[in-house]
Structure 1
């Protein structure tokens, strides 16, 4: 085998390992959040907790994400990607195991709050780490795999939780603990990964960055083709709110919040939602809806480079708004109508949900990329946490119909903001997607 062929093979192997190390981390996040949706009713019964505590525990991870994402994002931009990429997964393992020994509602709330911090760290670090190594061609598909694994992890967790509870008779504590097992696999994949060469360039460590590109990527051709040399330092996190980046910060925070708020609110309490809508089998509905979401994520990954970022975001928002509006206005609709509406919502939410791993990474410069993602993730979880906390209360007060109409309104806001502010970044190098001097008129060849 020639030296060039060996180098190409080594490059593909490295990118494959890095993609798996990142995507499995996202899958763990989906698994951890999904498994809670199944066992939360069991926790409420076992611990005799009130709806208030149920809402707090359901929203705990989302609150943790809100706290962890911007802090860890800033630390990642300040001290580098690699170290925190490893520390985060170690914390995930430890906290996952601690769920098996909690005895009081407040203890579970604290552990899951800290797990949320770890998940928020994953959002801020993982996609930035992967994007800064990935070549322009296929970067959108590669980043979309993160959300494919997220939805896959969510689906696997729901199926596994029902099986472990109903067939194996496991306690909810040990069902929650299962998240620590695949985390050990992720830990093994991450040990030994190098630092991001783009981050090193911003630190003035050019020789180290070139050495990593030479060893793991395409050498000088990759270095120049991906425009590493055009990376420019900025003023730090304050740039995110300066005139050049302010519109992008508003766009990313808003579209992400409008996308995930109704999703988390509905699917954290999926069995209760489907029961309130008088579907015959809430468990089957929960599994089916998450299965359709996983399919939507795969379709989004396969079409993102052809469809483009804007088209994959704006149209699905309007479809989701229409689907939730039908459920909200026609709460006593035939079961088939409700199932179709939730199928449409699940599919298109996941399809455009891939953009939460793509747009935030592409529109921010390297020196504030993780900070920007962290702030956007935190902002998105404000709405998600509020929705998750209020949904069980809303079902018992204003009713399921009004709750769904509110979700439809959020989707409409996301569509309007995206139509106005979303740039098209498909086919551009990461250096150019983060440019704030104006949107490039055409794609790179």
Structure 2
């Protein structure tokens, strides 16, 4: 059986849900990564400090956590697909609003509101794909959907190259944010082609919309909730700390310029995409726990190697946020 045989065996509803979640996550990633790509330009244009630029990124991530909680509750009340539609519209609209910001405070508010939709989309999409795909394909399907993040990052990078070629930097960063409204069109696809998972409909008929937040912080789910929250906080926190500042670091600290930074990021994105697909395949082979363990060790080793490489001037690569 080929490595893609699982995809061929999916039913039409599974495939439609798969591609909708894939592109939802990809376009979510595009809107999120736009900010990291324009940080150097905004700092220069508005004379911001790296602390202020970091506050915007931090506010986005914190609000995305809140958005995940809200979307989770909504998904149990109004459905997975409807929640996915709302969150995509939300982050698309507020990404567009970012392009109109005139001050640091306005951009801070716009990105914070955008973060609610960003976190909510991830939550609704993950639940939807997890409930629709049959168990024997679930690990590979969910992991492959996650590879959409690398695709969205690549789309953001491509849009940056185009907009900064067409416009002066003071206008280009606004044009790049304006591109971020494009994901709103995906809502039309969701409305027409994707239905609620049968398991959700069955649960609604059986118990109604009675799920309460206290259930996941009570026995027997408390231990799972705490451990998975700690795991994802560490993994996601480490990723976003690096991904947010990597373009700025390469452009300002290493002097690569916008073109050199884009080329470097293209390699990182390609590696990210390969990692997602590899993890997706291994998830159903070695199990989720072993996969986390192996990739965590590999990530730690790469970070150590990355920060220890000596350059021609004898210095080492170090990543910092100012």
What TM-score comes out, normalization by structure 2 length? Answer: 0.84
Shift of 1:126: 1.0
Q: Which residue of 2 aligns with 1:187?
A: 187
Q: Which residue of 2 aligns with 1:392?
A: 321
Q: Which residue of 2 aligns with 1:242?
A: 218
Task: Provide the secondary structure at the position in 1 that maps to 2:106.
Answer: helix
Task: Provide the secondary structure at the position in 1 that maps to 2:132.
Answer: coil
Shift of 1:205: 5.2
With over 3 angstroms needed to count, the CA separation of the structure-2 counterparts of 1:155 and 1:338, relative to structure 1, is farther
Larger of the two Rg values belongs to structure: 1
Task: Provide the secondary structure at the position in 1 that maps to 2:196.
Answer: coil
* 1:38/1:162 contact within 8 Å kept: no
With over 3 angstroms needed to count, the CA separation of the structure-2 counterparts of 1:176 and 1:297, relative to structure 1, is same
* 1:147/1:297 contact within 8 Å kept: yes
Q: Indicate the RMSD between aligned Cα atoms, in angstroms.
A: 3.0
Alignment of 1:128-277 (within 5 A): 128-166=127-165, 169=168, 171-181=172-182, 183-192=183-192, 193-204=194-205, 236-274=212-250
Shift of 1:274: 3.4
2:277 corresponds to 1:298: yes
Alignment of 1:326-405 (within 5 A): 326-328=305-307, 330=308, 332=310, 391-393=320-322
1-structure distance, mates of 2:109, 2:49: 17
With over 3 angstroms needed to count, the CA separation of the structure-2 counterparts of 1:199 and 1:140, relative to structure 1, is same
Shift of 1:26: 0.7
Match 1:309 to one of 288, 293, 298: 288
2-structure distance, mates of 1:297, 1:327: 20
* 1:44/1:54 contact within 8 Å kept: yes
1:83-118 residue CA offsets vs partner (Å, 9 max, x unmatched): 222222222332232222211111111111111100
Task: Provide the secondary structure at the position in 2 that maps to 1:24.
Answer: helix
Gaps in structure 1 of 5+ consecutive residues: 1-8, 207-231, 343-389, 394-445
1:224-258 residue CA offsets vs partner (Å, 9 max, x unmatched): xxxxxxxx999733232223212211221122112
Match 1:285 to one of 234, 239, 264: 264
Q: Which residue of 2 aligns with 1:431?
A: none
2-structure distance, mates of 1:235, 1:167: 50
What TM-score comes out, normalization by structure 1 length? Answer: 0.62
Shift of 1:167: 5.6
With 193-202 and 18-27 compared, the bigger mean Cα shift is at: 193-202
Gaps in structure 2 of 5+ consecutive residues: 1-7
